[in-house]
A = this chain, B = another copy of it.
Amino acid sequence: MAKVDAQFTDHVAETVAALTSSGVLLVSVGEDGKPNIMTIGWGTIGVIWGKPIFVVLVRPSRHTFRLLNQTNEFTVNVPYPDLKEACDVCGSESGRDIDKFAKCNLTPAAGNKVKVPIVQECGIHYECRVVHKNNVAPVELEPGIMGEYYPTEDFHTVYYGEIVACYADEDLRQRM
């Protein structure tokens, strides 16, 4: 199916909805060229510094963290409902141990503007270049969040990705 260029604003509804259900697929690649997929249920989308921005959070313990810091680029891929099982695998196994593209029968297709691949089988794609990053800061964090998510102080790094390309399947509306 052909992918057609979109404004980053065109598919925010489906993208945020996917974050709250199956999750979306965050792809990064290391200096060695090996891509990795991580399912994320957290992220925000909008505008900062006059640029379209996709914000994602990754813990230092994740394989993705090392890759993101090597190449400073990522793609976000919004799956169709039939990829639920792949989302579960990509959210529970580590790219240190397995090739998640191979294990889930997913296809890494070349990005247009970044060297990170997209997940071909997904419906919506955002290619992003990191323009800022920062850490979740314990001092200004609600105590309930601190207790629930950071008992070992493994604070997320917040990556601000400028969306440099956005596109989607031509028949997205029929399939999503």
Contact = CB atoms under 8 A, between A and B. Distances in A.
A80 to B, nearest CB: 18
A152 interface: no
A164 to B, nearest CB: 12
Most chain B CB within 10 A, of A9, A42, A136, is at A9
Contacts of A141: 131-132
B44 A53 contact: yes
A46 B45 contact: yes
Given A45-B45, A47-B44, A49-B42, A140 B136 contact: no
Interface in A112-150: 131-137, 140-142, 145, 148-149
Measured as residues with beta carbon below 8 angstroms from the partner, the interface class of chain A is 20 to 34
A104 B57 CA distance: 39
The 4 closest A-B pairs by CB, nearest first: A44-B46, A44-B44, A131-B142, A13-B13
Contacts of A142: 131-132
Interface stretch (A14-22, A31-39, A58-66): A14-22
